[in-house]
Structure 1
Amino acid sequence: MQPVYVAADNITSPLGATTAQNYAAVSQGRSGLQPLQLPCMETELPAGIILPEQLAAYTAGLTVQGLTKFEQLVIASINEALGQTSIRLSQPRTLLLLSTTKGNIDWLEQHAGQVPDAAALRGMQLYDTAATIGAYFQASSPPLVVSNACISGLLAILTAKRLMASGQYDQVVIAGADILTQFVVSGFSSFHALSSQVCRPFDVARNGLNLGEAAATLVLTNNPALQSPVSNIRIGGGGVSNDANHISGPSRTGAELALALQKAIDNTELSPKEIAFISAHGTATPYNDEMEAKAFGLAGIAHAPVFSLKGYYGHTLGAAGLLESIVSMHALLHNCLLATPGFETLGVSQPLDISNQSRYQPGMQHFIKTTSGFGGCNAAMVFSKF
């Protein structure tokens, strides 16, 4: 199978408008979480919020009139990533792949009580949103949307690799994003899943997640000459599974995520002991963290250090798998095991190597990223230093 390389990447978040800014903040232990209160909330909760002045700075110089906040964020992220490479969406055999769970869902609160007309409905449909973004960049091919709960970002990378392996495309520009809205916050609140404090993944005192908003872009190519000089990463194998357990609660055994992990490792032709670290989904909810810990043991990778990035960004939904993969790629390149903010005492039934301090670990070659989502979906993917 022809290798797939990283040509460029971007993260646009509360921590900055470039991957370099984001990685510097995370490696220094700085969080983008700040107090958020919406009309649907009784109290302030920590969240990763992109402020209006940040959005204005991120889109400076772009022609973004008439576009929504979601579309502006995605365009800003794609534009910055494409500025690092000669690849353009207007080139033949180049695909735009959009990863999101909700897209322009904020229309609902901006027009509360109104019945959406045909134009509004088109604006809320994910494919039409992707087409709007593609038109901005004069994309040569119709876009593709991946929307599968919180595994969307990682599933988009796996989908892109498969499309390239099949010979349909030479380059894929993957953009993932979601924004914070009353709709999203009230939904998680109804599950009693939100924490009033900065989340504490895998800790005995964890009591829920934080939400966040961000956009991230990953440009993939099958041409080694176009590989990024600063992101020397090859995309490995992936795996997907489903718990078939509950609409919102994960598996109690971890066997299904373990299957996705084993597929990803096998498809990369590695042994479990070659995994240097695990970039976990790590939502800090009681059931997710326990399920992941069990899955790591079942997949034979519990020896590998584990970290979660949710304390830096919150849970960014459709962007999470993509954003967290990019941060983890740069951690691999820097031989850095990142800290999990808020972690103090292990609170899962399986032994895991987790630290609240970043540390240098030379010689790392491969890591694996996990994500899980509502409906019982799971995805895992290996990334390798090349």
Structure 2
Amino acid sequence: MDQDFSNISVYATSGNCLSPAGSNVSENLVAIDKGNLAIEKHSNSDLSESPFYGAIISETVIEKEFSKLNYEGPFSKLEKMILIVLNGIVTKYSHVFSKRCGIIFSTTKGNIDALDNAEIENYYLHNTASKISKAMDIKTQPIVLSNACVSGIMAVSVAKRLIQTDKYDHIVVVGADLFSKFVFSGFQSFQAVSPKPCKPYSKNRDGITLGEAAAAMFVTKDKSLLTSNSYKITGESSINDANHISGPSRTGEGLFQSVQKAIKEAGVKPKDIDMISSHGTATNYNDEMEAQAFSRADLAQTPLFSLKGFFGHTLGAAGLLETVISLASADENKIPPSFGFDEMGVTLPLNISAQTQSKSIHTVLKTASGFGGSNTAVIFQKFNTNE
């Protein structure tokens, strides 16, 4: 009989991120406290014929941060972003980058800008993942997870499962996506892009704001590798509602089931969840769907926020970026504000965090939803050093 590894505890630690608001977690938290949005107005004819709002990382910042690292060979903008956020993990954990350590790369479009120069080989996602893995000297074959906008948080869920099935002892999870003309024009064709910074859950919301970012965290079963600000991944689930290629279920069925199953695995009740870091894209259908799902899951009164109004929608990086920031905020016992929110714009009540709140936080729920009916929910609980 096969051994049951489902009782293996798995932890997330050493999160890091890079966005227009900061080159690390601390800088991003300071920007959030000050209300200095990553979203700005841009005029770039390579991306759009008219001015637009978006969150785009300065090339100067990327080059400055990358110059501090010791990597040889040509790397794309995306690859430099990834290696920047992975540097702390490499420094701390390279001694365990053996055959029992994996890496998961989450993205939707990867090196999408390579297509502009007909660099087809550089565009293939598995090639990007292999290049990063080789640069880090990770011995195992990298895994690419590209499942629309749930990719980032689903990568954490998959890492937990792979460790619990004894395939790996540790997994490096990294997510990144670029602001590109391809994606921007695609969302414009849906008439889903806001002319101003987006306003999740608000009555006057009128679409998304796109952004770019990279984020990373180290997932492991080895408690000796954990820092004091680590989290146990106690429950997770991914349910596809198969409603439509781009539109979510009107009843929130997939998200509701994902949340419900994550709560059950974590062994908690809805009232035990201290805050929800939601998807909150500021489109009419997504935000309404989430209100339906959270209401059905008895979470209507739980403090909830979307970070899309601050970072924009960073696609395959979003779920991981928002997890890293949410857990770092929980370390400080703070609930971030849902930037852009003003007047309630969904039909069911939600407890939107309109401004930073101080609260003792132990349990965090992160959710994401994406094209094709994909949904993921993951529950994190603060690591108890006496475990």
Gaps (5+ residues) in structure 2? 1-6
Does residue 381 (structure 1) correspond to residue 378 (structure 2)? The answer is yes
1:370 offset after TM fit, Å? 0.8
Residue matched to 1:67: 75
Q: How many residues align?
A: 375
The one of 255, 258, 270 equivalent to 1:257 is: 255
Tell me: CA distance 1:290–1:309, structure 2 relative to 1, closer, same or farther (3 Å): same
Does residue 100 (structure 1) correspond to residue 107 (structure 2)? The answer is yes
Aligned residue type for 1:171:
H
Tell me: CA distance 1:86–1:42, structure 2 relative to 1, closer, same or farther (3 Å): closer
Q: Are the equivalent residues in 2 in contact too, given 1:88–1:94 (CA < 8 A)?
A: no
* Counterpart Cα distance in 1 of 2:135 and 2:57: 22
Residue matched to 2:369: 372
* Counterpart Cα distance in 2 of 1:284 and 1:247: 18
* Counterpart Cα distance in 2 of 1:327 and 1:271: 24
Aligned residue type for 1:146:
L
1:100 offset after TM fit, Å? 0.5
Q: Deviations over 1:316-359 (max 9, x none)?
A: 00000001011111122211111111111100001111132101
Secondary structure of 2:346's aligned partner: coil
Q: Are the equivalent residues in 1 in contact too, given 2:47–2:180 (CA < 8 A)?
A: no
* Counterpart Cα distance in 1 of 2:233 and 2:213: 22
Secondary structure of 1:212's aligned partner: coil
Secondary structure of 1:172's aligned partner: strand
Tell me: CA distance 1:146–1:89, structure 2 relative to 1, closer, same or farther (3 Å): farther
Residue matched to 1:135: 134
Q: Deviations over 1:72-119 (max 9, x none)?
A: 111111113333x2345633311111000000111122x2xxxx4xxx
Q: Deviations over 1:201-226 (max 9, x none)?
A: 00001001100001000111111111
* Counterpart Cα distance in 2 of 1:95 and 1:204: 44
Secondary structure of 1:199's aligned partner: coil
Aligned residue type for 1:9:
G
Q: Are the equivalent residues in 2 in contact too, given 1:6–1:228 (CA < 8 A)?
A: no
Q: Are the equivalent residues in 2 in contact too, given 1:50–1:214 (CA < 8 A)?
A: yes
1:291 offset after TM fit, Å? 0.3
Secondary structure of 2:31's aligned partner: helix
Gaps (5+ residues) in structure 1? none
Residue matched to 1:16: 22
Aligned residue type for 1:90:
F
Aligned residue type for 1:210:
T
| TM-score normalised per structure 1 | 0.94
Residue matched to 1:211: 210
Tell me: CA distance 1:286–1:232, structure 2 relative to 1, closer, same or farther (3 Å): same
1:78-89 equivalences under 5 Å are 78-83=86-91, 85-88=92-95
* Counterpart Cα distance in 2 of 1:201 and 1:89: 41
| TM-score normalised per structure 2 | 0.94
The one of 27, 32, 40 equivalent to 1:34 is: 40
Q: Alpha carbon RMSD of aligned pairs, Å?
A: 1.4
* Counterpart Cα distance in 1 of 2:148 and 2:235: 21
Q: Which deviates the most, 327-336 or 36-45?
A: 36-45
Residue matched to 1:317: 315
1:289-300 equivalences under 5 Å are 289-300=287-298
1:154 offset after TM fit, Å? 0.7
* Counterpart Cα distance in 1 of 2:46 and 2:122: 24
Residue matched to 1:90: 97
Q: Deviations over 1:240-296 (max 9, x none)?
A: 111211111111111221000001111111111111111110000111000001100
* Counterpart Cα distance in 1 of 2:276 and 2:113: 34
Secondary structure of 1:357's aligned partner: coil
* Counterpart Cα distance in 2 of 1:302 and 1:27: 25
1:184 offset after TM fit, Å? 1.2
* Counterpart Cα distance in 2 of 1:205 and 1:53: 35
Residue matched to 1:193: 192
* Counterpart Cα distance in 1 of 2:353 and 2:153: 24
Q: Are the equivalent residues in 1 in contact too, given 2:307–2:322 (CA < 8 A)?
A: yes
1:28 offset after TM fit, Å? 3.1
* Counterpart Cα distance in 1 of 2:190 and 2:203: 20
Q: Are the equivalent residues in 2 in contact too, given 1:29–1:339 (CA < 8 A)?
A: no
Q: Are the equivalent residues in 1 in contact too, given 2:90–2:136 (CA < 8 A)?
A: no
Alignment identity in percent? 40
Tell me: CA distance 1:295–1:282, structure 2 relative to 1, closer, same or farther (3 Å): same
Residue matched to 2:84: 76
The one of 232, 235, 248 equivalent to 1:234 is: 232
Residue matched to 1:53: 60
The one of 243, 246, 250 equivalent to 1:245 is: 243
* Counterpart Cα distance in 1 of 2:95 and 2:143: 16
Aligned residue type for 1:228:
T
